[in-house]
Amino acid sequence: MKIKIFIFLFFIGCSMNYDLSVIPLNSKGFAYIYNEQDYEKKIISKNFDNYETSIGHLNLKAGSLVKIINPENKKFLILKVKKRVANPAFFNILITKPVAEYLKLDPEIPYVEFYQIKKNKSFVADRAETTSEEKSVYSKAPVTSVKIDNISTIKTLKVKEVKTFSIILGTFYSLSSAETLKKNLSRELYNFNKNKLLIKKEGKNKFTLLAGSYKAINLLKNDYIVLKEYGLEQIEIQINE
């Protein structure tokens, strides 16, 4: 019954950022930096070559074109999804080490934005050529042996003081819809701090329900997973300015 209620809420009262069946996927959150040991331990479902510039995603089929961006420095790559892969629920996309290094991601806080690119031939041809040049330059660079720790295996992590995060639960056309979801979450999630839920007015008829803010990655991760397991599938992590 709970699932039916929320399906109704999200389609009638809520305007989400994406719908996989209608428009290309776009998301903000943490990237999973590939680690061979995690594949061997079956933490992720597929293996990748960590010397290649590659990405994987659970819902996007192989060959889908994706632009992945480091919002901190605006560096980006346009790559094709190599294969579908299941990784821990906290992470939105899998990337290999060369991608992380090219984008200059902080390995402890690999926050990215990415979106699927529609297959417009003129756009794809132009950007694909640029991407090929970038990959060529990168492939000539020496591969270092810098150790990149995996977020999923680190027990205690804290972000830098200037960085905080929020979880976006949904953007609604009416205040009552946002309040209904907030009330239901507060009542039904016993292992979630209801004081972290807040409604932000974005415009005359636009209200966003948020959870946060978070400085500790582990707490952010735990709450994100709790919300996903509850049935809120299309949530994303926002870095606060």
Closest C-alpha among 211, 181, 172 to residue 194 = 211
Write down the pLDDT at residue 232: 84
CATH number of 10's domain: 3.30.70.1070
Closest C-alpha among 200, 189, 199 to residue 223 = 189
Residue 124 maps to a domain: yes
Within this chain, do residues 182 and 111 fall inside the same structural domain, yes or no? no
Write down the pLDDT at residue 204: 83
Condensed to tens digits (0 to 9), the pLDDT of residues 112-133 reads 999 898 765 444 433 443 344 3
End position of a domain, from candidates 101, 126, 151? 151
Write down the pLDDT at residue 203: 84
Give yes or no for residue 240 having a pLDDT over 90: no
End position of a domain, from candidates 151, 176, 193? 151
233 neighbors 170 (Cβ within 8 angstroms): no
Condensed to tens digits (0 to 9), the pLDDT of residues 150-159 reads 444 434 444 4
> In Å, how far are 115, 123, 160, 161 from 78, measured between CA atoms?
10, 11, 28, 31
Condensed to tens digits (0 to 9), the pLDDT of residues 41-92 reads 888 899 999 999 999 998 889 999 999 999 999 999 999 999 999 988 889 8
Number of domains in the chain: 2
Within this chain, do residues 91 and 192 fall inside the same structural domain, yes or no? no
Within this chain, do residues 162 and 127 fall inside the same structural domain, yes or no? no
- The two three-digit tokens of residue 106, written as one number: 């902080």
Within this chain, do residues 109 and 215 fall inside the same structural domain, yes or no? no
pTM higher than the cut 0.85: no
Within this chain, do residues 84 and 36 fall inside the same structural domain, yes or no? yes
Within this chain, do residues 142 and 31 fall inside the same structural domain, yes or no? yes
Ranking 12-26, 91-105, 215-229 by mean pLDDT, the lowest is 12-26
Write down the pLDDT at residue 120: 57
Write down the pLDDT at residue 229: 86
Residue 200 maps to a domain: yes
Within this chain, do residues 215 and 169 fall inside the same structural domain, yes or no? yes
Write down the pLDDT at residue 15: 38
Mean of per-residue pLDDT scores for the chain: 76
Condensed to tens digits (0 to 9), the pLDDT of residues 26-35 reads 788 999 999 9
Residue 21 maps to a domain: no
Write down the pLDDT at residue 142: 36
Write down the pLDDT at residue 24: 56
The Cα–Cα gap between 95 and 91 comes to: 10
Residues spanned by the domain of 33:
26-151
Residue 218 maps to a domain: yes
Give yes or no for residue 216 having a pLDDT over 90: no
Write down the pLDDT at residue 208: 92
Residue 19 maps to a domain: no
